[in-house]
Chains A and B, each alone.
Chain A
Amino acid sequence: MPRMNMVQAINSAMDIMLDRDPNVICIGQDIGYFGGVFRCTDGLQRKYGEHRVIDAPIAEGGIIGSAIGMGVNGLRPVAEIQFADYIYPGCDQIISELARLRYRTAGDFFAPVTIRTPCGGGIRGGQTHSQSPEGIFTHLCGVKVVMPSNPYDAKGLLIAAIEDDDPVIFFEPKRIYNGPFDGDPDKPAVPWNTHPHSEVPAEYYTLPIGRAEIVRPGEDVTVLCYGTMVHVCQAAADFAEVDAEIIDLRTLSPLDVTTIRQSVEKTGRCVAVHEATRFSGYGAELAATVQEECFYSLEAPILRVTGWDTPYPHAFEWDYFPGKRRVAKALEQVLEMS
Chain B
Amino acid sequence: MTRTPRLHIPHPPARPGADPDFSYVTRVPAGSVPRPDPHTRLRDLPNELIYDIVRVLDDEGTAVGPWDPGLDPDELQFGLRHMLETRAFDDHMLRMHRQGKISFYMKSRGEEAVAVAAAMALKPSDMLFPSYRVQGLQIARGRSLVDLMNQCLSNSRDMCKGRQMPIMYHWKRGNIFSISGNLTTQYPQAVGWAMAAAIKGEDDIAAAWIGEGSSAEADFHHAMTFASVYRAPVILNIVNNQYAISTFQGTAGGEHRPFAARGPGYGIPGIRVDGNDFPAVYAVTQWAAERARSGTGPTLIELVTYRVDAHSTSDDPSRYRPKNEADAWPYGDPVERLKTHLIRFGQWSETRHAALVEELKAQVERDWAEACSYGTMTAPPFLDKNELFEDVYADMPPHLIAQKKQMRALEED
Contact = CB atoms under 8 A, between A and B. Distances in A.
Contact size range, A: 35 or more
Interface string A54-75: 1011010110011111111111
A279 interface: no
A226 interface: no
B189 A66 contact: yes
Contact of B185 (A72, A96, A144, A164): A96
A243 interface: no
Contacts of A67: 192
B394 interface: yes
Contact of B168 (A54, A74, A104, A107): A104
Contacts of A165: 394
B193 A72 contact: yes
B222 A69 contact: no
Interface stretch (B89-97, B110-118, B157-165, B319-327): B157-165
B178 A65 contact: no
Nearest to A108: B172
B193 A70 contact: yes
Contact of A210 (B172, B229, B397): B397
A254 B191 contact: no
B207 interface: no
A255 interface: yes
Given A97-B189, A104-B178, A166 B393 contact: yes
Interface in A81-131: 89, 92-93, 96-97, 101-110
A314 interface: no
Contact of A109 (B172, B194, B397): B172
Contacts of B140: none
A25 interface: yes
Interface in B185-200: 185, 187-197, 199-200
A311 to B, nearest CB: 24
Interface string B37-54: 000000000000000000
Nearest to B164: A104
Given A72-B177, A73-B197, A93 B399 contact: no
Given A92-B185, A105-B160, A73 B193 contact: yes
Contact of A75 (B180, B191, B199, B225): B199
Tell which of B172, B177, B192, B391 has the most Cβ of chain A within 10 Å: B192
B225 A62 contact: yes
A227 interface: no
A54 B230 CA distance: 10
Tell which of A69, A92, A96 has the most Cβ of chain B within 10 Å: A69
A62 B222 contact: yes
B149 interface: no
Contact of A107 (B182, B226, B391): B391
Given A93-B185, A108-B159, A57 B225 contact: yes
A257 B195 CA distance: 40
A59 B392 contact: no
A190 interface: no
Contacts of A142: 392-393
Interface string B196-220: 1101100000100000000000110
B315 interface: no
B229 to A, nearest CB: 6
Contacts of B133: none
A329 interface: no
A62 B191 CA distance: 9
A51 B218 CA distance: 25
A189 interface: no
A165 B219 CA distance: 25
Given A105-B170, A254-B398, A66 B393 contact: no
Interface string B148-183: 000000000001110110001010100001101010
Contact of A61 (B222, B387, B397): B222
A144 B307 CA distance: 41
Contacts of B225: 57, 59, 62
Contacts of B394: 102, 110, 164-166
A197 interface: no
Nearest to A165: B394
Interface in B204-251: 206, 218-219, 221-223, 225-226, 229-230
A-B complex: 4 closest residue pairs judged by Cβ atoms:
A69-B192, A65-B188, A66-B192, A62-B222
Given A69-B193, A93-B188, A102-B394, 16 more contacts: A25-B199, A51-B199, A57-B229, A65-B219, A66-B222, A68-B189, A69-B190, A70-B193, A70-B199, A73-B197, A103-B391, A104-B163, A104-B180, A109-B177, A210-B397, A257-B399
12 contacts: A67-B192, A69-B192, A72-B193, A73-B192, A74-B196, A77-B192, A96-B180, A97-B182, A105-B172, A105-B178, A142-B393, A166-B393
Interface of A: 25, 51-52, 54, 56-57, 59, 61-62, 65-75, 77, 89, 92-93, 96-97, 101-110, 141-142, 144, 164-166, 210, 254-255, 257-258
